């Protein structure tokens, strides 16, 4: 399997956080080229590229840019989603740390394409090191006169996963509580401060310069037809060589885990794979030959999400995994709608009982019934992110859930490879949050 680097190209050999180094590999040439083009011609290239968003939903970027309302008399905004808070995800962090100017160039090219003078990068609050690198790179780009008439504001979030949801991000940017907005209207019509707004993920925007440089048609031919280009896959969990690997979309899941990732440590067996971050549904070892592109993973019954591949070995307790994941979503639910606010809490209570071996047989069905009352009934996707994976953990590993009931406790005891990981921590003591408030 070939590593194919576009957003991380040359990042291994050079310190691309330095402007001169980035320019030495052709950096900011795409910006110069774009500024000689009409904005709509740049959008044409984005449409031709068929670039799909890298933030999770995979929506075509050029189409989103072309939807922006025109002639409203209001400013147009570009917001870059750098909130990256889902368990398993860490690709945007690497792109910003290793190649900050690629993102800045992408912002400036995209701003030109949508005729915007105002760009916001909404950065996960905990990413202090990234903040410093981005701040310095922006300063250097400003001093070098690269900004033209565009202002880029680096805005640090306050540590809430929900602010990665695009409309909650806009609320937060406006200084309000980070809670999703009902849609319509969509941000392309009424986004930041009620103005037309384009929101894209860090990697989506960092890919824009290469599309302008080489052309949309060139980009559209990389990899399988419906999902061209590369993705930075974040490989984590029970694997020898975790880390970020930029690969062609359509690369093999088996090759990522075994060839690049070095396989499962300590001679253990593969038990499950989460392909796109904790919000995506679990896959099983018989699906190892799935190609990692949006359509193939969907055909396998899961989602590519943010391309955060979590490898789970046979020491992991799947009930504990479901519990840990749901604790995260309960903790991060913004509380605006009842099914998500109450449902995640119910799910955690039931999963905790199951994990402790205190659950009645009927409570396994009750868990699925609660999930059913959350799925598709919430204002934003966080409710589905919580409930969807739990349904699939039960469907694929029902015997393990059953053993917890039959044996009156966790068959893995304290030996699960997930013990002590993947859980929310107490804000003050930093100890894992074990108990759910009644
Ligand atoms: C709860 C929740 C959290 C999200 N977090 C992020 C995030 O951290 N980064 C991101 O790019 N997209 C995140 N998204 C997706 C965004 O709403 C949006 O679809 C994305 O930023 C669009 O960018 P793209 O089209 O380039 O993928 C999240 C969605 C939900 C529902
Ligand atoms: S689904 Fe959850 S996170 Fe999303 S708006 Fe409703 S309560 Fe908030």
Q: Is 197 in the pocket of ligand 1 (CB under 6 A)?
A: no
Q: Which ligand is nearest to the CA of 378?
A: 2
Q: In this structure, is residue 164 part of a structural domain? A: yes
Domain of 253, CATH number, reads 3.10.20.600
d(CA 118, CA 153): 8
Cis omega before residue 185 (within 30°)? Answer: yes
d(CA 202, CA 292): 20
Q: What is the largest CA-CA distance in the chain?
A: 70
Same domain, 86 and 144: yes
Q: Cα(168) to centroid of ligand 2, in Å?
A: 10
Q: Cα(346) to centroid of ligand 2, in Å?
A: 15
247's enclosing H/E stretch is strand 243-248
Single out the residue in 245, 280, 313 at which a domain terminates: 313
State residue 224's pLDDT score: 74
Q: In this structure, is residue 349 part of a structural domain? A: yes
State residue 430's pLDDT score: 43
Q: State the alpha helices, DSSP H only, in 69-127.
A: 91-98, 100-113
Domain count, the chain: 3
Q: Is 302 in the pocket of ligand 1 (CB under 6 A)?
A: no
d(CA 390, CA 82): 27
Domain of 80, CATH number, reads 3.40.50.11540
Same domain, 162 and 272: no
Same domain, 81 and 176: yes
Sequence-distant (≥ 6) Cβ neighbours of residue 193 within 8 angstroms = 74, 75, 77, 174
Q: Which of 378, 381, 384, 386 has the most ligand 2 atoms within 8 A of CB, as the residue to mutate?
A: 378
Q: In this structure, is residue 322 part of a structural domain? A: yes
* CB-CB contact of 307 with 230 (8 Å): no
Domain of 338, CATH number, reads 1.20.1440.230
Give the helix, strand, coil percentages of the chain, each rounded to 5: 45, 15, 40
Q: Which of 53, 56, 181 has the most ligand 1 atoms within 8 A of CB, as the residue to mutate?
A: 56
Q: Which of 171, 326, 333 has the most ligand 2 atoms within 8 A of CB, as the residue to mutate?
A: 333
User: Residue ranges of the chain with pLDDT lower than 50?
Assistant: 423-432, 434-438
Single out the residue in 292, 313, 334 at which a domain terminates: 313
State residue 162's pLDDT score: 98
* CB-CB contact of 367 with 387 (8 Å): no
Same domain, 142 and 272: no
Residue 328 domain boundaries? 318-415
d(CA 31, CA 47): 18
Same domain, 171 and 44: yes
Single out the residue in 264, 293, 313 at which a domain terminates: 313
State residue 423's pLDDT score: 47
Same domain, 120 and 244: no
* CB-CB contact of 247 with 4 (8 Å): yes
Question: Whose alpha carbon is nearest atom 4 of ligand 2?
Answer: 380
State residue 262's pLDDT score: 97
d(CA 410, CA 74): 58
Strands 251-252 and 291-292: antiparallel
d(CA 238, CA 215): 39
340 CA: nearest ligand 2 atom: 2
Secondary structure (3-state) at 3: strand
* CB-CB contact of 21 with 15 (8 Å): yes
Same domain, 168 and 28: yes
Same domain, 73 and 145: yes
Q: Is 179 in the pocket of ligand 1 (CB under 6 A)?
A: no
> Smallest Cα–Cα separation from 52: which of 163, 203, 274, 169?
203
State residue 419's pLDDT score: 63
> Smallest Cα–Cα separation from 97: which of 125, 127, 120?
127
pTM for this prediction: 0.95
């Amino acid at each position: 399997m070939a590593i194919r680097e576009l957003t991380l190209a040359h990042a291994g050999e050079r310190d691309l956080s330095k402007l001169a180094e980035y320019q030495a590999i052709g950096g900011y040439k795409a910006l110069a080229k774009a500024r000689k083009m009409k904005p709509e011609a740049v959008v044409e290239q984005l449409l031709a590229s068929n670039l799909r968003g890298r933030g999770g939903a995979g929506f075509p970027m050029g189409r989103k840019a072309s939807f922006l309302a025109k002639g409203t008399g209001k400013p147009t905004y570009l917001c870059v989603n750098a909130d990256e808070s889902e368990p398993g995800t860490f690709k945007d962090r690497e792109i910003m740390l290793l190649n900050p100017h690629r993102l800045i160039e992408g912002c400036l090219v995209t701003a030109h394409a949508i005729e915007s003078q105002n760009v916001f990068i909404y950065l996960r609050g905990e990413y202090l090191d990234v903040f410093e690198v981005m701040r310095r790179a922006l300063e250097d780009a400003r001093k070098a006169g690269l900004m033209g008439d565009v202002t880029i504001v680096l805005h640090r979030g306050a540590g809430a996963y929900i602010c990665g949801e695009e409309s909650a991000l806009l609320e937060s940017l406006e200084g309000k509580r980070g809670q999703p907005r009902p849609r319509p209207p969509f941000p392309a019509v009424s986004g930041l401060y009620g103005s037309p707004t384009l929101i894209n993920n860090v990697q989506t925007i960092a890919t824009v310069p290469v599309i302008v440089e080489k052309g949309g048609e060139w980009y559209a031919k990389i990899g399988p037809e419906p999902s061209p280009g590369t993705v930075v896959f974040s490989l984590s969990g029970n694997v020898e060589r975790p880390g970020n690997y930029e690969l062609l979309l359509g690369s093999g899941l088996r090759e990522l885990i075994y060839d690049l990732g070095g396989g499962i440590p300590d001679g253990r067996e593969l038990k499950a794979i989460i392909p796109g971050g904790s919000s995506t549904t679990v896959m099983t070892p018989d699906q190892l030959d799935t190609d990692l592109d949006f359509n193939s993973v969907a055909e396998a019954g899961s989602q590519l999400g943010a391309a955060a591949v979590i490898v789970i070995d046979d020491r992991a307790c799947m009930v504990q995994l479901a519990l840990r994941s749901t604790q995260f979503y309960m903790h991060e639910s913004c509380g605006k709608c009842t099914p998500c606010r109450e449902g995640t809490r119910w799910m955690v209570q039931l999963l905790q009982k199951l994990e402790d071996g205190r659950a009645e047989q009927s409570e396994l069905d009750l868990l699925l019934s609660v999930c059913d009352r959350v799925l598709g009934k919430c204002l934003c996707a966080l409710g589905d992110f919580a409930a969807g994976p739990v349904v699939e953990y039960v469907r694929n590993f029902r015997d393990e859930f059953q053993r917890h009931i039959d044996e009156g406790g966790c068959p893995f005891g304290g030996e699960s490879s997930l013990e002590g990981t993947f859980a929310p921590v107490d804000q003050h003591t930093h100890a894992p949050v074990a108990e759910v408030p009644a």
